[in-house]
Amino acid sequence: MSRILVAYATMAGSTEEVAQAVGEEIASSGAQVDVLPISEDKDLESYDGVVVGGPMIMGWHREAMRFLRKNRDAFQRIPLAVFVMAMSLTQTSETGVEGVPVYLDEDLPKPPANEERLNFKERYARLESYLRPVIKATRPAKPVSIGVFGGRLEYGRLKWWAVLFVMLVIQAPAGDRRNWEAIRTWAAGLPAMMQTQSPKAGE
């Protein structure tokens, strides 16, 4: 039986629930799954696959990014999948970034006002600008897939500076935009994707 780690970072708590759902789907394939906050110390070598999830918080959550960089060497051997929670995404025709397949929650992207000339917010919220730093963090290893999903935004849970940033840059209305069907569909496909990418697959 394979062992899979789902490690998550969160600011206001909603990504933890997503990580639990991802873990449940993977476990239904027969794998043994640990769902843990990213801050907990883990020995990655005891896992056959790792999923790392976190929200966009002025760039992908710092702790999630740090975790990828810190374990860069391990990800040369252990298959990695990533999920990113977001409230704002500019619609483009991209289906991958740097050769990494992206699974997109179709309800999330919004078309730019003028496709010829993106404004600051639209450029900031392109798939490529969100995901390029994530992919760079594990180079030369690449995630088998990156899922990008709508998140949850509750102004009442945030500090004043966070409210200010979200109002000025993200300009997303409060609410829960988590698309559980999309999240679970993506997660259910991960065991097969990790199996084919695993260095152990040919054993």
Number of residues that bind ligand FMN (CB under 6 A): 23
User: Which residue stretch of 4-12, 42-50, 96-104, 189-197 sits at the interface with ligand FMN (rule: CB under 6 A)?
Assistant: 4-12
Does residue 54 contact residue 64 with C-beta atoms inside 8 Å? yes
Across 63-74, b (16+ Cβ under 10 Å) vs e yields bbbebbeebeeb
Minimum CB distance to ligand FMN smaller for 153 or for 187: 153
Site string for ligand FMN, 63-102 (x = CB under 6 A): ----------------------xxxx--------------
CA distances from 153 to 22, 141, 175 (A): 20, 32, 5
166 belongs to the binding site for ligand FMN (CB under 6 A):
yes
Minimum CB distance to ligand FMN smaller for 179 or for 198: 179
Considering the complex, what minimum distance in angstroms separates the CB of residue 178 from ligand FMN?
7
CA distance 49 to 197: 10
Considering the complex, what minimum distance in angstroms separates the CB of residue 58 from ligand FMN?
5
CA distance 99 to 154: 34
- What three-state secondary structure class fits 184? helix
57 belongs to the binding site for ligand FMN (CB under 6 A):
yes
52 belongs to the binding site for ligand FMN (CB under 6 A):
no
